[in-house]
Amino acid sequence: MIKDLFNCDHVGKMTGDKRREQILHTAVSLFSQRGFSGTTTKEIARVAGVSEAMVFRHFSTKSELYDAILGDKSCHDGIRFPWEENPVLHEAIKNKDDYNVFFNLALNALIKQQADENFLRLLFYSALEEHELADRFFNEFVARLYEFIGGYIKLRQNDGVMREMNPRIVVRAFLGMLIHHSLNNILWDRNRRLLDITNEEAAKNFAEIILRGVLKKV
């Protein structure tokens, strides 16, 4: 799990340092606006109101600072897998309640994606700049989503409920709807001119689309 990738053991001891937290908060904001390569430690120090030496006192390199951002995010704000933290989803999975499985997966994703716009932007910058942490995030989190959701789909295919196709195609279609919706709300259509609906309504419709499609039965 991603929380194993970013060691949380030391984080609790350090969160009391307000300067460290301020540096991290500032770094997230700047990295999300200008990317990793476009942000200097000198600029982070200036905006955070500390000396550059203070930045290096807490983080010996810029890469270490970047790593700490994801580490703190996973340990405190919950880069957690939804089936680990959502008892309703856990129960739906156990009962093979397909609609509530996909509804709760969708709602969890939409809420988290849109709750921290800077972090989502930071992840996209990581990918665009081919930063190693983008690969680590993908391998430890996104790949696990494919594995878990794909495994549930395969289970339901074996039950004869879902038609046969590569489960990862279904996962990609499902996650594609979610991320596109969030990106529209965050980057392109902040005023909701094209579509103005709640996350609950979006999750409901995305779950129905992935399970039932859009064609009427004949």
Residues of the chain with pLDDT under 50: 1-7, 9-16, 76-78, 218
CATH 1.10.357, applies to 82-212: yes
Global pTM value: 0.73
DSSP one-letter string for 25-83? HHHHHHHHHHTTTT--HHHHHHHHTS-HHHHHHH-SSHHHHHHHHHHHIIIII----HH
Quote the pLDDT of residue 15: 45
pLDDT digits (tens, 9 = 90+) for 106-139: 998 898 888 777 777 777 777 887 777 777 778 7
d(CA 25, CA 116): 12
Rounded Cα distance between 110 and 102, Å, is: 12
**Residue-range domain boundaries for the chain:** 2-77, 82-212
Q: How far out from the chain centre does Cα 50 lie?
A: 30
- Write down the CATH number for the domain with range 2-77: 1.10.10.60
pLDDT digit string, tens, across residues 149-175: 999 999 999 999 999 999 999 999 999
